[in-house]
């Protein structure tokens, strides 16, 4: 499925991270990539993250999966919503929904959450700290958007939901199948199913916080440092008051810290590993028996094709003489034809193996990041 009559440049200029935007069925041919029964089946699996939100009057209850096969049949007429994370990691047709949104860099994409709701179901007025495209599947959902929120916005007391205590609606739309609502970070929004069998596909984006970046990068730097890398002060002279920390000492101490933090090369290598670390490492495609370079060459020669594990994260950083390929928290330095292959790996779900290095391909297959598709 592709987006038609959708101006990407205008959207990025006027709406991205600025204001909500309703996009009325821009698909060349919309059809639901998932049936409700399939979603319920995923919610019953232990390795899949899922939640059930039940609304009873003004009260909200949350249950966490996995669920028993008959749980949903027992819910009755009470409005409820089932939410399943990272469905794109399990269902190729849902993963295909990401393709039209690749104008946003891959490293920013998180996953596709899918929800099913009965009449009146929803998760209440809330705001997210990331951008989201809300694609309406089967059924209808009424969305309201409201004020900009932040950490100071009052919330209702709840252990599992971040429900806004105040909601000032500024816009309202009824979404039909194929419609998309874009909501920037911090904008209050509330979606309520109109009728039963309401499906919504939420494409969420990663937005690392400053505190997360600093904390993890600092941990990475500390792990790389030697214990004998210590403060020195040759040429020390006596000072009038021994209790004073002199400006010269502070400057040297500050430089010890900031010189490491300012290392752009180290930051690039760290961030590529950090950002490519899989969210769900249990989705493992590693073969039972390791494959060799010769195995890879033979299988490719026989017509097998490469397929990326949808739970794996691929990205690269271009350098003057190489490409740093990051896959599932690991870094591989690639040169010449292998560098071009690394770039294709990051751009395509089923990359061509032409120019690929046998050692790199076998390493990624054995790590569970790639697989060989032998076809029918």
Contacts of residue 97, defined as CB under 8 A and 6 or more positions apart, other chains included, come to: 1, 33, 88, 112, 135, 201, 203
The model's pLDDT over 107-125, given as tens digits with 9 standing for 90+, comes to 999 999 999 999 999 999 9
The model's pLDDT over 58-69, given as tens digits with 9 standing for 90+, comes to 899 999 999 998
Please compute the mean of the pLDDT values over residues 339-347 and round it to a whole number. 93
Please compute the mean of the pLDDT values over residues 63-77 and round it to a whole number. 92
Q: Is the peptide bond before 315 cis (omega within 30 degrees of 0)?
A: no
Q: Other CB atoms closer than 10 Å to residue 308's CB: what's the count?
A: 21
Q: With pLDDT > 90 as the criterion, what percentage of the chain qualifies?
A: 88
Eight-class DSSP state of 95: H
Distance, CA of 86 to CA of 95 (rounded, Å): 9
**Residue 252: pLDDT band with limits 50, 70, 90:** very high
The model's pLDDT over 299-317, given as tens digits with 9 standing for 90+, comes to 998 989 999 999 999 999 9
Where in the chain are all domains bearing CATH 3.40.366.30?
Answer: 293-373
∠255-257-259 over CA atoms, to 5°?
60
Q: Is the pLDDT of residue 353 over 90?
A: no
The model's pLDDT over 86-110, given as tens digits with 9 standing for 90+, comes to 999 999 999 999 999 999 999 999 9
The model's pLDDT over 135-160, given as tens digits with 9 standing for 90+, comes to 999 999 999 999 999 999 999 999 99
Distance, CA of 142 to CA of 171 (rounded, Å): 11
Q: Which whole-number Å values give the CA distances from 115 to 102, 121, 184, in the listed order?
A: 22, 10, 19
Take residue 356 and report the two structure tokens written for it.
């690929």
Q: Pick the more confident residue, 321 or 187.
A: 187
* CATH numeric code, 8-205: 2.60.120.650
The model's pLDDT over 30-44, given as tens digits with 9 standing for 90+, comes to 999 999 999 999 999
Task: With H, G, I as helix, E, B as strand and everything else as coil, classify residue 191.
Answer: strand
**Residue 375: pLDDT band with limits 50, 70, 90:** low
The model carries a pTM of 0.92
Q: Is the pLDDT of residue 376 over 70?
A: no
Distance, CA of 372 to CA of 304 (rounded, Å): 6
Please compute the mean of the pLDDT values over residues 51-80 and round it to a whole number. 92
Eight-class DSSP state of 87: G
Where in the chain are all domains bearing CATH 2.60.120.650?
Answer: 8-205
Q: Pick the more confident residue, 198 or 298.
A: 198
Query: What is the reported pLDDT for 283?
Result: 87
Task: With H, G, I as helix, E, B as strand and everything else as coil, classify residue 292.
Answer: coil
| CATH of the domain spanning 293-373, picked from 3.40.366.30, 3.40.50.150, 3.90.320.10, 3.40.640.10 | 3.40.366.30
Take residue 60 and report the two structure tokens written for it.
């909200």
Tell me the pLDDT of the chain averaged across its residues.
94
């Amino acid at each position: 499925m592709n987006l038609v009559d959708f101006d990407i440049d205008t959207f990025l200029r006027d709406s991205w991270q600025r204001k909500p935007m309703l996009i009325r069925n821009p698909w060349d041919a919309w059809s639901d990539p998932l049936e409700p029964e399939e979603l319920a089946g995923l919610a019953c699996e232990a390795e899949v993250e899922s939640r059930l939100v039940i609304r009873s009057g003004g009260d909200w209850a949350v249950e966490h999966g996995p669920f028993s096969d008959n749980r949903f049949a027992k819910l009755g007429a009470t409005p409820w919503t089932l939410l399943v994370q990272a469905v794109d990691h399990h269902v190729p047709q849902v993963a295909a929904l990401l393709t039209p949104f690749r104008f946003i860099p891959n490293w920013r994409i998180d996953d596709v959450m899918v929800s099913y709701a009965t009449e009146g179901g929803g998760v209440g007025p809330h705001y997210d700290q990331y951008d989201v495209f809300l694609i309406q599947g089967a059924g209808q959902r009424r969305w309201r958007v409201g004020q900009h929120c932040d950490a100071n916005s009052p919330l209702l007391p709840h252990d599992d939901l971040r429900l806004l205590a105040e909601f000032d609606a500024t816009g309202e739309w009824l979404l039909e199948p194929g419609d998309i609502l874009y909501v920037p970070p911090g904008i209050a929004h509330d979606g309520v199913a109109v009728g039963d069998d309401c499906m919504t596909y939420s494409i969420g984006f990663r937005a690392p916080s400053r505190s997360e970046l600093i904390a993890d990068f600092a941990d990475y730097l500390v792990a790389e440092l030697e214990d004998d890398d210590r403060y020195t002060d040759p040429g020390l002279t006596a000072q009038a008051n021994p209790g004073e920390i002199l400006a010269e000492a502070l400057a040297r101490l500050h430089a010890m810290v900031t010189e490491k933090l300012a290392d752009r090369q180290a930051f690039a290598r760290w961030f590529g590993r950090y950002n490519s670390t899989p969210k769900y490492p249990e989705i493992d495609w590693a073969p039972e028996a390791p494959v060799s370079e010769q195995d890879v060459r033979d299988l490719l020669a026989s017509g097998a094709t490469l397929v990326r594990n949808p739970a794996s994260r691929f990205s690269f950083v271009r350098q003057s003489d190489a490409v740093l390929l990051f896959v599932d928290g690991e870094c591989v330095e690639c040169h010449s034809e292998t560098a071009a292959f690394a770039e294709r790996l990051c751009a395509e779900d089923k990359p061509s193996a032409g120019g690929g290095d046998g050692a790199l391909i076998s390493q990624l297959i054995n790590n569970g990041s790639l697989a060989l598709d032998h076809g029918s």
